[in-house]
Structure 1
Amino acid sequence: MFNAAADPAPSDVVLASVRQPGDAACSNIHIRDGRIVAISAAGPARNGDVVHLEGRHVIPGLWDEHVHMTQWALTASRMDLSAARSAREAAAAVRARIAGTEAGAATECAGTLVGVGFRDAVWVDQPTLEMLDDATQGLPAALISHDLHCVWLNSAAGERYGVRLDASGLLKEEAAFDLTRELGQLPEDIVDAKVLAAAKDAAARGIVGIVDFEMSWNRDPWLRRIAGGFRSFRVDAGIYAQDLGRARVLGLRTGQDVPGGEGLLKVGPLKVLIDGSLNTRTAFCVSPYPDGGRGLLTVSEAELLALLAEAKQGGLVPAVHAIGDAANRVALDAFAAAGIRGRIEHAQFVREEDFARFGQLGVTASVQPAHALDDRDAAEANWSGRTTRAFALRSLLDAGATLALGSDAPVAQLDPWTAMSAATTRAGADGRGPWHPEQAITRAEALTASARGRTRIKIGDPADIVVLDGDPLAVPDAVFASMPVAATLVAGRFRHTDPALSRAE
């Protein structure tokens, strides 16, 4: 009898009576040793374990191309400040949390209250050190913005972590990243348990792989997790510029299988951050923000070119973080000068003359469609009159760019259907109409950009498959946004099975 929880997978599995999107007729998909070896007309199947899927739809497995996995896993146990509409409202929420919680229960990191998700770009007032000190009354508090580029601290946290604070209490960019990493220094077993729980949730949404850009040396934590039994999905472990020398000494090349990774772990891209973010108003832009600044170029053009040249020599695919339109110009110039293909992470704001360069240079736009909805107010406030070229997925595709969709979790939730819904409707659950609907892409395009260019399941592919309860090309928008996933397979192994499917079998 078929057992969806069995591991390792039997050498032969048949997914019987399934349909690919748009198909009227059903077929059987034959899997052997983790790969698809045949697709036959639907009918009785006698070899191997047969899983009767009763006409359900199957698609290639989905990837989230940009995740900070540890930060995402920790978010579930941190205080959510995403609903705060002002600094005072955020401070009041912190005050209420402390007052209403038993001593110590509100804290996560050695007695520090950690909050996440605030959006000060759309607040009517400004965060201050005095405001947070008054709300916390001596309990160390560190509030991380939704984009991870800013942390609001009180005096007690500044003293605990040895950082100097000005009257705002804000740390930005590298100082914020350093503190966020420190706040994540929990015991390995606790972090790994949280990662496993978050990964199971992701597998239940059809995720078969992620590109992990956690701001650390990623290879070793994933080897530890896999050694401990992690099997939920594949991981491409990103490398940051500060670890480039270490990677070169070890001979790491993007796409290389990592020994000990059980076929699930590969070397990911080389991540280079060259500007900040929209929420923190540090994204490097051609025109000034309302406050007169233009953001930050955190890596010089010469330094970036040198990094790309070294990446090319070492076989690493560059993934350059660029949000502002000036930063995207700098990144594209560097790709052209280095003669290397790669990725631009985010590509949120692009000059009209630069859209076509993505396709011409073979640079993938690794984009996070949910950000367009989360940041529409911040974009209108800070890029006023220019938002026709913000989060411009249609313009990128029409200009020949390749899209790769992701979440940037914890900036947005690790759910590919949320991302694809945002990309195709340009509208969220808040009841507001579509924002720049001319920049929407089709569902077929969104599915392709979420499955590494795979449009259909084919013979010879890895058996990374998602089983759905409806046709993703035909269901209503509301269903598509929260698409029911009956099962997720990675290399032919079931990593998620809906209880209803298990009962049916």
Structure 2
Amino acid sequence: MPRGEHRALLNASLPGREGTYDVLLEDGAVGAVSPAGSGAPRGVAATDVEGRFVMPGMWDHHVHFAQWTVQRQRLDLSGTDSAARCLERVRGEVAAARAPGAARLSAIVGYGFQDGVWPDAPSLAALDGAAPDLPVVLVSKDLHCAWLNTAAARLLSLVPDPDTGLVREGEWFGALDRLQPPGDLSAADYREAAQAAARRGVVGIVEFENTDNLRLWPERVEQGVDSLRVEVSVWPERLEGAIAAGVRTGDVLDSRGLVTMGPLKVVVDGSLNTRTAWCWDPYPGMDRSHPHACGMESVPLETLRELLARARGAGIAAAVHAIGDRANTGVLDAFEELGMRGTVEHAQLVREEDFARFGALGLIASVQPEHAMDDRDVADLHWPGRTGRAFAVASLQRAGAELRLGSDAPVSPLDPWIAVSAAVTRSRDGRRPWHPEQRIDTASALAASTRGRTGVVPGDPADLVVVERDPLACSPEELRTMPVAATLLAGGFTWSTLAG
């Protein structure tokens, strides 16, 4: 909403409050909330929401936006339950590419396999057999590894494991941009992905793509990708450039005021499915003498402390990826030693004695509840005896951590209602709740998805969502598919099914 423009939402219900209200939006902020019937001042555009529920707009606090955008164009492997099934999908793509009149295919890129519970193992020889000449890159659901054939390894200048064809962690992360640079996607691609998020009530994201976010996102806004607020991160290799540019966390980076500087992102360990999350105990079947029996330390803790201190001195906040319990202990130690607040991304496995430290240190726990639904079987297999403290959202809340929910898209869909539902139910697809003691209430899950906003309050940004159900009254299962009637950013509609 341009400065000076006003709008009114009439006959709005507010979750948790009796009656209906008229909500006046002024200069991009909530101006007044009055009993219904007050009407819109003369000359103010009015929309009758007819009793629908108006609430603060939703944020996804952990997104890889380019990967989410391009994932929509890749071969979907999310339903595959074995290496053999993946190979079937690849052979089908090769056959389709060879059919008369088929468009020329330069490579097959798939996304979404989860080999942590497969009955068989990936094989370089088998993937070469399925596609001997065409490069094939199959990206895991957690983004932490890829299964390549020889042609793809040659194309990307990678050396995969000679038996499995897998490339993991840092070596693979460096290849993501070579696979499909973010600049290869069009503004229309990004615009479509952003608008899809707006259709689910999203008003903002925290961008953790490992690319030149400080340059790319202002450019995208100028190209019309303007339906979201974006808080951008920098990874360690771009930290000095951000410092040299003089940007600090919270600084506005574009002319529309939609892009702001966010945190330094540091990844200190791997992931559960890839068995590289850094843990205190070995993975089943692994001897402690093996160098990666307990996972991997991606960034040495001493280096982490140096990076955090450097960022703090430049006014840049920190968000640190920690999945295994050893990684979480080390990250907590670093924040404590520096006397520094920040965000722990994922916090998937935490020692019992470490939960209280989140609250004592004033840390944010940025968690992705749908990961627990995706990974419950992997966790039961690879973290046996430890799953009571895995994806432990309620334990983090009780410890006093500030919760923020996200998707880690494309690992989970960029849809905050899925995250809210998973946090509240710990269940999906009719299965029994997994460790139901780690459920949180709906109000807490919503607050963790709206940056702590719990109502439509005068003076707050007019970043709002209009939904068909009262989220505080509908069943937890209904939360997952919450119908969104409209989304507003600074008082302007980015998505609407409403008349007027």
With normalisation by structure 2, the TM-score equals 0.95
8 Å CA contact 1:9–1:492 kept in 2: the answer is: no
Partner SS, residue 66 of structure 2: helix
Q: Which residue is equivalent to 1:37?
A: 31
2:493 matches 1:494: yes
Cα distance in 2, alignment partners of residues 69 and 187 from structure 1:
12
Cα distance in 2, alignment partners of residues 478 and 345 from structure 1:
26
> Structure 2 unaligned runs (5+)?
287-292
2:341 matches 1:315: no
Change (3 A) 1:484 1:178: same
Q: Which residue is equivalent to 1:46?
A: 41
Cα distance in 2, alignment partners of residues 315 and 105 from structure 1:
53
- Structure 1 position 45, deviation (Å): 2.4
2:215 to 220, 224, 227: 220
Q: Which residue is equivalent to 1:4?
A: none
2:116 matches 1:82: no
String of CA shifts for 1:442-490, please: whole Å, max 9, x gaps: 0000000000011111111110000111111111233211101110000
Letter of the structure 2 residue corresponding to residue 415 of structure 1: D
Q: Which residue is equivalent to 2:358?
A: 358
227-236 or 320-329, which deviates more: 227-236
CA-based RMSD: 1.5
8 Å CA contact 1:74–1:191 kept in 2: the answer is: no
Q: Which residue is equivalent to 1:426?
A: 426
Q: Which residue is equivalent to 2:62?
A: 66
Cα distance in 2, alignment partners of residues 105 and 291 from structure 1:
46
8 Å CA contact 1:31–1:37 kept in 2: the answer is: yes
Cα distance in 2, alignment partners of residues 149 and 54 from structure 1:
46
Partner SS, residue 375 of structure 1: helix
String of CA shifts for 1:119-168, please: whole Å, max 9, x gaps: 01111111110010011131100000000000110011111222223221
Cα distance in 2, alignment partners of residues 447 and 156 from structure 1:
46
String of CA shifts for 1:299-331, please: whole Å, max 9, x gaps: 112111111111111111110000000000000
8 Å CA contact 1:10–1:49 kept in 2: the answer is: no
Q: Which residue is equivalent to 1:345?
A: 345
- Structure 1 position 186, deviation (Å): 6.3
Cα distance in 2, alignment partners of residues 175 and 357 from structure 1:
33
Pairs within 5 Å for 1:381-460:
381-429=381-429, 431-460=430-459
Change (3 A) 1:187 1:358: closer
8 Å CA contact 1:323–1:348 kept in 2: the answer is: yes
- Structure 1 position 424, deviation (Å): 0.2
2:111 matches 1:112: no
Cα distance in 1, alignment partners of residues 152 and 326 from structure 2:
35
1:202 to 153, 177, 197: 197
String of CA shifts for 1:333-371, please: whole Å, max 9, x gaps: 000001110000000000000001001101100000000
- Structure 1 position 187, deviation (Å): 5.3
Pairs within 5 Å for 1:94-105:
94-102=90-98
> Structure 1 unaligned runs (5+)?
1-6
Q: Which residue is equivalent to 2:169?
A: 173
Letter of the structure 2 residue corresponding to residue 225 of structure 1: R
Letter of the structure 1 residue corresponding to residue 61 of structure 2: E
413-422 or 166-175, which deviates more: 166-175
Partner SS, residue 453 of structure 1: coil
Letter of the structure 1 residue corresponding to residue 26 of structure 2: R
Q: Which residue is equivalent to 1:266?
A: 260
8 Å CA contact 2:30–2:459 kept in 1: the answer is: yes
Partner SS, residue 51 of structure 2: strand
Cα distance in 1, alignment partners of residues 255 and 404 from structure 2:
24
Letter of the structure 2 residue corresponding to residue 128 of structure 1: S
Letter of the structure 2 residue corresponding to residue 421 of structure 1: S
8 Å CA contact 2:140–2:146 kept in 1: the answer is: yes
Letter of the structure 1 residue corresponding to residue 129 of structure 2: D
8 Å CA contact 2:66–2:182 kept in 1: the answer is: no
- Structure 1 position 12, deviation (Å): 1.1
2:282 matches 1:283: no
With normalisation by structure 1, the TM-score equals 0.95
Cα distance in 2, alignment partners of residues 322 and 107 from structure 1:
42
161-170 or 122-131, which deviates more: 161-170
8 Å CA contact 2:11–2:50 kept in 1: the answer is: yes
Change (3 A) 1:233 1:437: same
Change (3 A) 1:343 1:175: same
Q: Which residue is equivalent to 2:467?
A: 468
196-205 or 46-55, which deviates more: 46-55
